[in-house]
Amino acid sequence: MKVFLKILLLFALFEFALLNINANSKPVDITPSILKSSNYASIVINSRTGKVLFSKNADQKRYPASLTKMMTLYLTFDALKNKNLYPLKKLKVSKYASEQPKSNIDLKAGNKITVRKAIHAIIVKSANDAAVVLGESVAGNRKKFINLMNKTAKKLGMNDTSFQNAHGLHHEKQYTTARDMAKLAIALKKDFPKYYHLFSMTSFKYRGKEIHGHNRVLQRYEWIDGLKTGYINASGFNLATSAKKPEGNLVAIVMGGQTARIRDDHMVNLLDNAYARLSIRVKVKSKKSSKTQLLNSKKDVFQYASTESQKITNTTDKLCWDVLEIH
């Protein structure tokens, strides 16, 4: 009996201690642990408004790896837009371009590749040889192209970025930040809508072969519409992503992943958390005026701003004809 009473007393004291701890503890942080890793540099931006929705180590200098090719493509698209290049123009492969290590499409010195196929090779395969071919063709030589890359970076407000080559293979003086890469991603989408859709490609044909890419997140997240992966030993696994949903268009950057899968998981978590915080702003027609409303992304009921107006349900059915704009 004494033993039983002692056990009962100990249990009561334990319960009291737990209650005391809970009463004085701070609110629980429910942010997914995957978003707290100190190894990552990441940022999520509303690409229409420029508002930063999440950032961690966003201004920390990192090696861009193949995210560098986003600038190579930006300058290629600019050359196409200004008719300095055209998609079917055949470009000669230099000896230097043919010597680039993987990832590549095994271009041989003296051979030719069209601008279009070189673009496809960079987006899908992250081909280093194709990146050099485009860089040499856009600017005339590698040195001029690097100067053009850095001049354009400054023009886009990428003030913490230094480019040293067209492909992103390691160079100690080549660096960027997650914030700067987000600026570049937004500029690609804004300045070149004619070509931006190419970033959603997952395969292309070259010399009779179907070449597949390794941007797995394009298949994992239905709202992602493109951009670029990157990896070198010094950088870890990098990813630039653009996503489009009714709630808004987002650009997200992740740099420094331990593996491609972990990096992709981190990206999906970032996007899910960002969209969970967004609302849809809808401008609705009215006989007297247009009223701007907020519609929570998780609800199908909202209230007009004016108190005399009624609630409207089933927004997908009843508002699709009179939504003027979504911000």
Give the pLDDT mean for 299-327: 34
pLDDT at residue 159 is higher than 50: yes
CA angle 294, 298, 302 (to 5 degrees): 35
Min mean pLDDT across 91-95, 226-230, 322-326 is at 322-326
Measure the CA–CA gap between 115 and 110, rounded to whole angstroms.
15
Average pLDDT value over all residues in the chain? 81
The structure tokens listed for 249 are: 């268009």
The structure tokens listed for 151 are: 């001049």
244-270: pLDDT as tens digits: 998 899 999 999 999 999 999 999 999
Min mean pLDDT across 69-73, 160-164, 205-209, 288-292 is at 288-292
Q: How many CB atoms lie within 10 A of CB 229?
A: 25
pLDDT class of 39 with cuts at 50, 70, 90:
confident
The structure tokens listed for 63 are: 């090696």
Measure the CA–CA gap between 267 and 265, rounded to whole angstroms.
5
CA angle 88, 92, 94 (to 5 degrees): 150
The pLDDT value recorded for residue 300 is 38
Domains of the chain with bracketed CATH: 33-289 (3.40.710.10)
Measure the CA–CA gap between 51 and 134, rounded to whole angstroms.
33
The pLDDT value recorded for residue 275 is 92
| Residue 194 neighbours by CB under 8 Å, 6+ apart | 77, 81
> Hey, which residues are catalytic here?
66, 69, 126
Helix 69-81, helix 178-191: angle, nearest 10 = 20
Binding site members for substrate: 228
- Phi, psi of 182, rounded to the nearest 5 degrees: -65, -40
Q: Which residues pair with 226 in a beta bridge?
A: 242
Tell me the C-alpha to C-alpha distance, in Å, between residue 289 and each of 283, 284, 308: 10, 9, 14
Min mean pLDDT across 5-19, 92-106, 133-147, 280-294 is at 5-19
Q: What ranges in the chain are assigned the alpha helix state H?
A: 2-24, 69-81, 95-98, 115-120, 128-139, 142-155, 178-191, 193-196, 217-220, 260-276, 315-319
Q: What type of residue is 281?
A: R
**Contact predicate 204/130, CB 8 Å:** no
214-254: pLDDT as tens digits: 899 998 888 999 999 999 999 999 999 999 998 899 999 99
